[in-house]
């Protein structure tokens, strides 16, 4: 029996299996880099390593992002068993701030024409400038100068620590793959930014590619350093697969939007307050509980300033106190001021993408102010009203004598109710009397001026 056909059949089967296993995944990295981005990329890395992918390409267009999310992505890249290429594209894209670190950490760094990277200077947070407070105006000049000097010194020290740390970090990433360490440090210390042509000439990137096919073409046959070992990329006849973010990414990206997390927190708190105010309804409590849990989950992934959060909670407590024990605006206005301050300070980041929109803060503050003013107006209107219910309302009304008042006491009927009454006058059954005073459960009555018997 001829064994050659079986041999060729096995060889072709093996070759087809090998060829089908060569896949290149394209993972989009667009917009601000945050918790949703790092979570999505981490899951993609885990799945890719299980399926033995040939190459992963991060298709990048980002203005930057959070330091924690950036470092998480870089850790996944540097510990990956699969080569990672970062491509800044298409034309017009950028890899600013956090994107520059990720690009330099990748095994292959590429850019399209008309793109740029850089401006990787971190922003020091939490130290204010040497502005004098109102209380400083009355202090001696030497004391103000000393205080300003201390503030400047504290700010400078913190900035040096942050910049030195970032500079050492980005230089280490550039050195890892033999890229321009000098420019990397310049991107941090001077916020330098360069285009694709300058980056290629300065050995910051490996090549320029205007599309994904060119990235694969230029990367094929290159030697890279993968987990400390040199590897030569073999990307012949690979299939290009563009990955689409799943529902979890969309969900996390939505709730970790500072504006959405802020609104969820307020809905949650107000929902619980409404449920406590009128228990038994159920819907406000359930909706408020769900929104509050989602808000807390989102905020633990965001750079939160806890002083700002405390201001918001204090403001809401003061608004609730105004509702339960009206102070004609004192508590309510204090709560609104505290609420606005807390909303402004809530996000501990200078990135515009991770700030609460000022119009949203003003709209909610205006809504709360309107609510307080309406409540004060209603309270004043209620105070001016005459008594319409209760025992005091009986004074001045007419009653009908049920039996003769032989001893100056007897029973009268008023508003459909039978009351015990006393009078200094002699009264007859059926006679109309007027209520002069209410003393406990006894009415003091007198004969009506237009006295008549009921027929």
Provide the 8-state DSSP code for 353: G
pTM score of the predicted model: 0.70
- Read out DSSP for 24-45? EEEEEEESSB-HHHHHHHHHHH
* Model confidence at 405: pLDDT above 50: yes
**Most distant CA pair in the chain: distance in Å?**
139
| Rounded Cα–Cα distance for residues 399 and 429 (Å) | 11
What is the reported pLDDT for 389?
Answer: 57
Which percentage of the chain shows pLDDT scores above 90? 37
Sheet holding 193-195, edge to edge: 94-96, 116-118, 193-195
| Residue 114 burial (C-beta neighbours within 10 Å; 0-12, 13-18, 19+) | middle
Tokens of 120: 């990787």
* Model confidence at 77: pLDDT above 50: yes
**Residue from 450, 296, 345 nearest 126 by CA:** 345
Secondary structure of residue 133 in the 3-state scheme: coil
| Rounded Cα–Cα distance for residues 4 and 254 (Å) | 60
**Residue from 107, 30, 100 nearest 67 by CA:** 100
What is the reported pLDDT for 146?
Answer: 54
| Rounded Cα–Cα distance for residues 248 and 226 (Å) | 30
Give me the mean pLDDT over the 26-46 stretch.
93
Are 109 and 204 in contact by the 8 Å Cβ rule? The answer is: yes
**pLDDT tens-digit readout, 48-62:** 988 889 999 999 999
pLDDT band with cut points at 50, 70 and 90 for residue 218: very high
What is the reported pLDDT for 451?
Answer: 47
**Higher pLDDT residue, 349 or 334?**
334
Give me the mean pLDDT over the 68-78 stretch.
94
Domains and CATH numbers, the chain: 17-133+141-246 (3.90.226.10), 249-384 (no CATH), 391-447 (2.40.50.140)
| CA-angle at 110, arms to 106 and 114, nearest 5° | 140
As a whole number, the mean pLDDT across the chain is 81
* Model confidence at 161: pLDDT above 70: yes
Give me the mean pLDDT over the 130-153 stretch.
49
pLDDT band with cut points at 50, 70 and 90 for residue 222: very high
pLDDT band with cut points at 50, 70 and 90 for residue 151: low
Tokens of 167: 């500079």
Give me the mean pLDDT over the 391-419 stretch.
81
């Amino acid at each position: 029996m001829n064994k050659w056909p079986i041999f060729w059949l096995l060889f072709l089967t093996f070759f087809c299996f090998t060829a089908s296993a060569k896949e290149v995944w394209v993972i989009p990295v667009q917009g601000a880099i945050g918790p949703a981005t790092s979570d999505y990329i981490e899951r993609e890395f885990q799945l890719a390593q299980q399926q033995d992918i040939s190459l992963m390409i991060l298709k990048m267009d980002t203005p930057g992002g959070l330091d924690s999310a950036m470092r998480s992505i870089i850790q996944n890249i540097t510990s990956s068993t699969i080569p990672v290429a970062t491509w800044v594209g298409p034309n017009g894209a950028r890899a600013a701030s956090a994107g520059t670190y990720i690009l330099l950490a990748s095994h292959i760094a590429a850019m399209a024409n008309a793109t740029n990277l850089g401006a990787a200077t971190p922003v020091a947070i939490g130290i204010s400038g040497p502005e004098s407070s109102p209380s400083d105006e009355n202090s001696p000049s030497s004391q103000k100068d000393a205080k300003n000097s201390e503030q400047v010194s504290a700010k400078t020290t913190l900035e040096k620590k942050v910049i030195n740390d970032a500079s050492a970090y980005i230089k280490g990433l550039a050195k890892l793959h033999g890229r321009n360490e000098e420019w990397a440090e310049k991107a941090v210390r001077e916020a330098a930014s360069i285009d694709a042509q300058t980056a290629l000439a300065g050995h910051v990137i490996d090549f320029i590619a205007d599309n994904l096919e060119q990235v694969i073409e230029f990367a094929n046959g290159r030697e890279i350093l993968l987990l400390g070992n040199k590897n030569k990329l073999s990307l012949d006849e690979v299939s290009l697969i563009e990955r689409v973010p799943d529902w979890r990414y969309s969900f996390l990206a939505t709730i970790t939007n500072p504006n959405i997390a802020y609104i969820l927190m307020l809905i949650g708190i107000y929902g619980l307050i409404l449920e406590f105010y009128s228990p038994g309804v159920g819907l406000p409590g359930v909706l408020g509980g769900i929104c509050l849990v989602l808000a807390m989950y989102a905020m633990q992934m965001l750079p939160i300033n806890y002083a700002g959060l405390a201001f918001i909670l204090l403001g809401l407590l003061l608004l609730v106190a105004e509702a339960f024990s009206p102070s004609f605006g004192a508590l309510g206005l204090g709560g609104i001021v505290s609420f606005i301050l807390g909303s402004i300070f809530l996000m501990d980041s200078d990135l515009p993408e991770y700030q609460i929109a000022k119009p949203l803060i003003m709209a909610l503050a205006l809504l709360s102010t309107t609510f307080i003013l309406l409540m004060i107006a209603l309270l004043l209107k209620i105070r001016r009203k005459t008594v319409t219910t209760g025992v005091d309302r009986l004074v001045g009304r007419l009653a009908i004598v049920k039996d003769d008042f032989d001893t100056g006491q007897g029973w009268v009927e008023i508003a459909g109710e039978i009351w015990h009454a006393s009078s200094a006058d002699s009264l007859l059954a059926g006679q109309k009397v007027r209520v002069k005073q209410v003393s406990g459960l006894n009415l003091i009555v007198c004969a009506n001026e237009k006295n008549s018997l009921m027929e």
